[in-house]
Structure 1
């Protein structure tokens, strides 16, 4: 199992096997027998979502997606592939950093005194099946944010510690994917317990599976697989390499941190914020956005009170509220804060970018704002400014 502390380590264990669909179903059974709650992609309500799986039959075999800015559609595939789809509306953040968490509750006693009970952390032994390499990187980033510093989040730690991660390498990127630009895919290089590469060709439908941890190797040893053959290895390598050449989006080939820092007054900010609704959709679907607020509630009698932690967004007008008013009172200032933090000042806080190139923020923006387009536009404006006498 990959813990937060060793999520970025290079795998020492590289046992390999080729699994078929029955082997994938056996994987789910083995994990459940080991006490794991298995979460993976499945089709529900017109989208590929993440949910608890009773068996591998619930995986989205034969389903793909069509993505564009502000557009998401399921489509049928003829090859029966299980993982030939891009990121859906959810990320694994929903399970590791839940959108609503009760922190404590209090009741008034007979003598009028308050009895406060801190919420006990629920310890869930998760197994995440089908984690894209971009999302694998997102989990590593959340590890640094939520557990890598002086202040460690107990809710995150209770869910993340011991989580078993099964990566699914990307073989068919979507039109909004740009993981290559962010160095987060399409291959899974670290941080997993098992990694799957799906191959569908004339030789059949199979999964090249390799281990990345001691527990991953132990689980793999329990599965009904066969030794990898040269054609399967070659097909898997080719499929991932080809995916890297078919990214739908890209970032400008510049230092994004410097680009954001040096263009805070660019005219492009006015253009993009004329289209931005400040709805916060991009922060809700982002696999690394982590901001929260707190809310205190009582019952009608006033004898019972609770404090809840809720996801929040820097697009909320009150997010930066101080005495006298909000610090960022305009949509321009809020969009600029989000993008410059995600691509720039995140490095100052956490030694990495906050973007993994999954493209969710592009797909689920109701007005189709594309952060890669905005980065290119900022770069173009800066270049024109430098070249103007």
Structure 2
């Protein structure tokens, strides 16, 4: 499961194993991964948020921390228990490591005699282990695999980071107020695409993690960890927690074909309403785990003897994103917001055979004006189904 799955099949092959780990077992997992040369990335508390960072040990996980989410609002809060994964998506996604925000592509130097030397930038080899990947983000990684390595042109920088990455999923038992993965069919259970999957359980029998493997490598790692055989009580508690999370999802999409809805509402009045609030800041594209657009920028020193080309994230909200010789194709906030939402929920299918949205809710939380794409989808559906003579 470490290698990219560009077709998005999520097939799991190889051995399966199951065990129950406690906190010491989770720490042993991190130690084992680091001992094998892995850079372990996982959630931790920093700067008033739960962020993704390199972990030296499982002790750095956000034990006892949760989050309060709403449109345009994010706060960390102390919990009454010691849960490590009772929080929903933070401001970062795993895209930040697989498809970084800014990457140098090449540099060039001109010697005093005029000789020009160009050096291609090759990323340092890294062996990642991602701990705490939510099911929605598992799907997002599969979508990025399809975008970045599934077509005729493959991104070598992406492949260098993605190939061999060890993925440890964590099933959701406490959804955030802005989560809607059930509507998108991406969670809260982890069904495929992982090496190991954890479900956190806290009850009268203690704090523990049901751990199951999804690959031969995952089974081999699990076999070396201090744990005990999975028992029916833990399996039942884990399954109940995931099922209850699905029933307590904070948001939902209208129960219609979103691709058709986007196609048939291009001239809806609702676009004017939402774009009266939109700042065209691009926050939603920056935090989205599947938005992948980039641009290039060339920089030079004052002498002109050294130059570099960098690739950086770009956003369809940028006025220059669609700039042609006669001006930008999408010159208004209305056209840019409509482009983003109809692509994400609709025409993404035409390009990549799936939706571009995984229901993580990040774009809702990190929109400074609190625009909620689920609310907009419902409003578009209501307008589309309103009787002709209705006010």
TM-score bracket, normalised by the shorter chain, equals over 0.9
CA drift of 1:235 comes to 0.2
Determine helix, strand or coil for the equivalent of 2:122: coil
Secondary structure of the 2:19 match is strand
Q: Deviation of residue 298 (structure 1)?
A: 0.3
> Please, which of 274, 277, 287 is the counterpart of residue 275 of structure 1?
277
CA contact (8 A) 1:11 1:191 kept: no
CA contact (8 A) 2:170 2:197 kept: yes
Partner of 1:31: 33
Structure 1 spans left out of the alignment, 5+ residues = none
Superposed counterparts of 1:2-81, under 5 Å: 2-5=2-5, 8-81=10-83
Shift of 1:146: 0.3
* Residue 123 (structure 1) shift: 1.7
The one-character-per-residue Cα deviations of 1:78-103 (angstroms, maximum 9, x if unpaired) are 11000000000000000000000000
Alignment correspondent of 1:316: 318
- For 1:197, which of 199, 213, 232 is the aligned residue? 199
Q: Relative to structure 2, which stretch is displaced further, 7-16 or 250-259?
A: 7-16
Runs of 4+ in 1 over 6 A off after TM superposition: none
Corresponding residue for residue 135 of structure 1: 137
| Aligned twin of 1:116 | 118
Report the Cα distance in structure 2 between the residues aligned to 1:132 and 1:386, rounded to whole angstroms: 43
> Is the 2:320–2:328 Cα contact (8 Å) retained in structure 1?
yes
Task: Give the match for residue 238 of structure 1.
Answer: 240
Secondary structure in 2 aligned to 1:5?
A: coil
Matched, 1:161 2:163: yes
* Contact 1:283–1:361 under 8 Å retained in 2: yes
2:106 to 104, 112, 124: 104
1:102 touches 1:307 (CA, 8 Å); kept in 2? yes
The 8 Å contact of residues 208 and 232 in structure 1, kept in 2 or not, is answered as yes
Q: In structure 2, what is the Cα distance between the partners aligned to 1:219 and 1:14?
A: 11
Q: Give aligned pairs, total.
A: 389
Contact 1:122 1:159 in 2 (8 A): no
Q: Give the structure 1 partner of residue 295 of structure 2.
A: 293
Instruction: Indicate yes or no: 2:371 matched with 1:374.
Output: no
- TM-score, normalising length from structure 1? 0.98
Q: Secondary structure at the match of 1:130?
A: strand
Moved more, 75-84 or 379-388: 379-388
CA distance in 1: counterparts of 2:11 and 2:323, whole angstroms: 40
Tell me the distance in 2 between the aligned counterparts of 1:15 and 1:169.
Answer: 17
Maintained 8 Å contact 2:22/2:207: yes
Q: Secondary structure at the match of 2:298?
A: strand
Per-residue CA distance 1:158-190 (angstroms, 9 max, x = gap): 000000000000000000000000000000000
Q: Once the 2 structures are TM-superposed, how far is the Cα of residue 387 of structure 1 from its aligned partner?
A: 7.3
What SS class does the counterpart of residue 57 from structure 1 fall into? helix
1:14 positional shift: 2.2
Partner of residue 175, structure 2: 173
After superposition, give the CA deviation of every residue in 1:166-224 in whole Å (9 maximum; x if it has no partner). 00000000000000000000000000000000000000000000000111011001100
Correspondence for 1:95 among 82, 94, 97: 97
2 CA distance for matches of 1:318 and 1:39?
A: 34
Q: CA deviation at 1:12?
A: 4.1
Residue pairs, 1:336-347, within 5 angstroms: 336-347=338-349
Indicate conservation of the 8 Å contact 1:14/1:210, yes or no.
Answer: yes
8 Å contact kept, 2:12–2:215: no
Q: 1:385 to 1:338 in 2, by over 3 A?
A: farther
Q: Unpaired runs of 5+ in structure 2? A: none
What TM-score, normalized to structure 2? 0.98
In 1, the alpha carbon distance for the partners of 2:386 and 2:301 equals 60
